[in-house]
A and B are shown apart, each in its own frame.
Chain A
Amino acid sequence: MRDDQYVLNHCTTYLARSDQAPRHDFGFGHYGDGDAGARIREAWRFPIVDSCGLTTTGKPESEFNDVTFVFPDFEMQCDSVAVVGTFDKLYQPIRLRRVDFLGEPTAYFAVTVPVPKRGVFYYRFMVDGEFFIDNINPQRDRLENGELWSRFFTWECTSPVVLQRWQLGILERFCDHILPFRTKQGERFFSWYYKHLANEAKAGTIRGSFRIDDSAGAANYIDKILAKEERHHFGDYNICLRQLRRIIQEREPDFEPENASENTYVEIYKEMAAGPIGDVAGWNLSEYGSPRHFLNLLRRHAFTGAFSHPKYGGNVTTAGWQFLQSRFPFEWQQSLEQPLGTSTSYRG
């Protein structure tokens, strides 16, 4: 249960404003015309996915996130708001309460629900009896029945959300090329690490199901950040991965692009990094003006994905941190919450 203060703390700076200009539309088709999200700071923060306080299920808190759904009603005209979705008892409406400030109603309705980690979920609001998608959260999906629903995912999620398999495949290859895990030392570490994971899996001590690759889940992180925090770069990835697939296929027509030779990836990486804008044979500059720009973006994402907190979807099972620890004095466990780390004071 999160109190009203919590909701206001996580809403005011993002939602309250008088200027309705699209200050937060970063371009590249990030938002459609008139989309409310463009007027809101960091619209991706909604619903608020946070560590779980107390569950009433008897299961450990570390297996859940507190998900707080927020429905702003600045005109103060709604009486009842509920959320229905795939996360709790399927499609049973959960009522949002009107949040108070100093005993008076505010513009915000909210409710907090513990939701299992590592999942993708869909929801809609029911406002005075009518269904709406979440106006703020930019994550939306058309379900198989053709209906548009709002989407969110919880921490440590490893199912692909916005990228397709082939896109993830090419990304993994580039992430491998950038990150230090495909070096001799990296491979030694990872062969030990996989053995260790396999033993843990046998012993039943690792949590959840996951898909790990040599890039410590950096590609999975990119999928998540493109779905959420850096949605404005989804277009860059779509265009550039399409170009890269074509270019790799032209150079190695006998293979699926994600299985092309190391050499091809090495060459293309070099070409992307050449000069101020990159110089990749076969790149269509009129479609995307600088392969180097894309490479720089990818480099930041690969690095961040491999070494950030696993809740973002990379650094799966803390592989990135464990790799660093195998080479450097780096007792990261002491600072971090269990079960990832060993801190007895910090709960995450």
Chain B
Amino acid sequence: MRTEFDIVIIGSGAGGSPIAYELARAGKSVLILEKGPLFRPQDDPPGAPSDYKRDELFATGPEKRLTIDVGNRGSSIFSSHIEPDLNDEPHIYREPGGNDYATIEGYTAQAVGGGTQLYGAVSLRFTEADLQLKSFNESRTLKADPNGEVKREARDWPINYSDLEPFYCKAEKLVGINGQQAGQEKPFSQFDTYQKPLAPNPVSQFAAAGMEVKGMKSYRTPLAVITEDHASSGRRIPRDADGTATPEVAKTGFVNRYGCPLGLKSNTYVALLRPLMNDTDVGDNFELRANCVVTHFTQQNGKVDRVHYLDPSGTPREVSGKIVVVACSAIESVRLLLLSGEHDASFAERLHQGSIGGSIVGKYFLTHAFGGAEGNVPGVFDKSLSLDSDYATDFCALPEFLDEHGLWAGAAIYNNTSDQALPISMGRTHRSQDLDTIWNSFVNESDIRGDGFLNWLHGNFQRGLSVSFMANQVPMRSNRIELHPRVTDKWGRRVAYILKGWHEHDQHLMNVMAEQCRDILEKGGVAVEGHGHVGNDARARIANHILGGMRFGTDPSDSALNPNCRAWQFDNLYVTDGSFMPTSGGANPTLTIQANSFRVASHLINDGVV
């Protein structure tokens, strides 16, 4: 068993895989240690059925009960087959009343591919301003910021849009994304980064119409789903009996929260890692060890010298890498670093060194300020034959819009197409905002029975349309990830403890954006049933866009990572999942995590780091 590599990467999701792809192809020896299973799509190996299924009970499985000693002990939990078990390894958050609750929020997925296995695959770029929010706001007047915190806490990224842009192009091409450039407010240096979008689901026309009436330029939402053969990953669109490609088979209600059995959704396994494994030039230079959880690092003189992990039997093992890349998703990466510090005092000393006002590790944890509106369209449409979204607009990121509303940052707005497209997903998410409260409303509304059930179906099934916004959250030092003082996982390791709230300006921004979403639907002819945002829900403060906590920057006293995502006090330790972000961007984060990971790979190769 090989124990020495040029690069050891922890986590095979959006932040880890692009580096593996680039470095293994550059002739370096690369190991990925991934905690979750290597669930494979159909015919991998040939003839084998898929580990991912079009089965609603895979997305939100049977009920379990929370047994650990926290405030919500005894409550029901429902998780996907590739999310961790809350009794084995919960995330704990402190609710406003001061009680500690366990939650599944804050986990993306634990499998090879990480969150990209379950994601809705909405793959937007951030805007130029998203990366420069400090400079952008310097001379602006903001509402709902009486103490000037927003301007004080806003940060510029240490790179700007033009530094990242070539890597957006690279990510879009290598991951395999369909979409439309025209209509976006972000510059593209290459015209051919997207595959062709499929025809939209007819239900989305109401959102598109609403955007048009409001004068919002719209475009087809970029989605990480291939619609044409994808040469770099060797994926082919299924053919019919005549040999004609049938890209429409990707349209199914089993998109968001489901792994794709056909490998058409561009998760990092099928897009990047499997091609490496099949590349004879790469050969033994790339190894993927699934079902291996990294427990801690040790260091000597500023170099991580050992990566300690448990193999599939739970047996402790070690490897070493000239470079070590942490990409466990923000909460788990911070946790892994903090736990390493508990094992090795010299590690802790370096990790926490240098920042003003105490360690910055785990601080400035971010998610997205998000929310939207939903309603019923006139007519019924088969939403079960769709991808996750059809139309998006950058209108609410335009400077004029932000000035008009006194906002520090903008949002992407897009319609959701496949939500509640299947019967059980409609039942379990009926009036539910988050993963911890699903089923509650349906089971309690006992009038939904017999004719009442039929009426409820007629009122909701294949009629619902929602529009969401995704916006920057104001960075606050008090929003943070720590180790829980008491609760441990099934390995006896302390679990992550999440403390997080919203700034007054976030609430203002979310009110404005939710109102825009409501208006889009209304102008599009949709009977709006509700609109709102996560600002009032403690659990959904965490959700599954988990960012920050190890932000990068140019000043070691104000950031945990340098501009190349290397931990300031370590020579060979990099962090490339969503935790590097100093601000969370006005769009879904995964494409930006991937692009940044390609950027870091390019630095490692071209600057001769390894």
Q: What is A's interface to B at a CB cutoff of 8 Å?
A: 2-3, 5-6, 8-13, 16-19, 22-27, 41-42, 50-54, 66, 74, 101-104, 106-108, 177-180, 182-183, 185-186, 225, 229-230, 232-233, 269, 272-273, 295-297, 299-300, 303-304, 307-309, 311-312, 320-321, 324, 327-332, 334-337, 343-348
Closest 8 CB pairs of A and B: A9-B37, A273-B446, A229-B62, A26-B65, A107-B313, A12-B291, A296-B443, A345-B238
Which of B32-61 touch A at CB < 8 Å? 36-39, 42, 45, 47-51, 53-57, 61
| Residues of chain B lying within 8 A (CB to CB) of residue A312 | 57
A344 near B240: Cβ-Cβ < 8 Å: yes
Q: A12-B291, A18-B314 are in contact. Are A51 and B384 (CB under 8 A)?
A: no
Query: Does any Cβ of A come within 8 Å of B254's Cβ?
Result: yes
Q: A230-B63, A330-B462 are in contact. Are A335 and B427 (CB under 8 A)?
A: no
A106 near B312: Cβ-Cβ < 8 Å: yes
Using a Cβ cutoff of 8 Å, how many contacts connect chains A and B?
Answer: 219
Query: Does any Cβ of A come within 8 Å of B67's Cβ?
Result: yes
B451 near A8: Cβ-Cβ < 8 Å: no
Ordered by A's residue number, 7 sampled pairs between the chains whose C-beta atoms are within 8 Å are: A13-B37, A178-B449, A180-B457, A307-B427, A309-B55, A331-B385, A346-B261
A27 is contacted by which of B65, B110, B382 (Cβ under 8 Å)?
A: B65
B246 near A345: Cβ-Cβ < 8 Å: yes
Give Cα distance in the complex from A321 to B422, angstroms: 10
B454 near A183: Cβ-Cβ < 8 Å: yes
Q: A307-B423, A309-B55, A335-B384 are in contact. Are A26 and B67 (CB under 8 A)?
A: yes
**In the assembled complex, how far is the CB of residue B426 from the closest CB belonging to chain A, in whole angstroms?**
9
B380 near A329: Cβ-Cβ < 8 Å: yes
Question: Knowing that A107-B315, A300-B442 are A-B contacts, what are 8 other residue pairs whose CB atoms are under 8 Å apart, sorted by A's residue number?
Answer: A8-B290, A19-B489, A42-B64, A101-B291, A179-B449, A229-B61, A230-B63, A335-B384
B49 near A335: Cβ-Cβ < 8 Å: no
Query: Does any Cβ of A come within 8 Å of B253's Cβ?
Result: yes
Q: A8-B291, A232-B65 are in contact. Are A19 and B249 (CB under 8 A)?
A: no
Query: Does any Cβ of A come within 8 Å of B252's Cβ?
Result: yes
- Mask, B352-385, CB within 8 Å of A = 1, is 0000000000000000000000000000111011
Give Cα distance in the complex from A12 to B34, angstroms: 12
B381 near A5: Cβ-Cβ < 8 Å: no
| Residues of chain A lying within 8 A (CB to CB) of residue B451 | 180, 183
B450 near A23: Cβ-Cβ < 8 Å: no
Query: Does any Cβ of A come within 8 Å of B289's Cβ?
Result: yes
**In the assembled complex, how far is the CB of residue B365 from the closest CB belonging to chain A, in whole angstroms?**
26
| Residues of chain B lying within 8 A (CB to CB) of residue A309 | 53, 55-57
Q: Which residue of B lies closest to A324 (CB)?
A: B423
Give Cα distance in the complex from A296 to B54, angstroms: 26
Chain B interface size, as a band, is 35 or more
B382 near A331: Cβ-Cβ < 8 Å: yes
| Residues of chain B lying within 8 A (CB to CB) of residue A19 | 488-492
A74 is contacted by which of B241, B314, B461, B491 (Cβ under 8 Å)?
A: B314
Give Cα distance in the complex from A307 to B57, angstroms: 10
B457 near A5: Cβ-Cβ < 8 Å: no
Give Cα distance in the complex from A192 to B366, angstroms: 55
| Residues of chain A lying within 8 A (CB to CB) of residue B423 | 303, 307, 320-321, 324
A182 near B450: Cβ-Cβ < 8 Å: yes
B442 near A186: Cβ-Cβ < 8 Å: no
| Residues of chain A lying within 8 A (CB to CB) of residue B51 | 6, 9
B88 near A53: Cβ-Cβ < 8 Å: no
B49 near A41: Cβ-Cβ < 8 Å: no
Q: Which residue of A lies closest to B64 (CB)?
A: A26
Give Cα distance in the complex from A53 to B57, angstroms: 21
Give Cα distance in the complex from A307 to B428, angstroms: 12
B49 near A52: Cβ-Cβ < 8 Å: yes
| Residues of chain B lying within 8 A (CB to CB) of residue A300 | 63, 427, 439, 442-443
| Residues of chain B lying within 8 A (CB to CB) of residue A324 | 423, 457, 461
**In the assembled complex, how far is the CB of residue B263 from the closest CB belonging to chain A, in whole angstroms?**
11
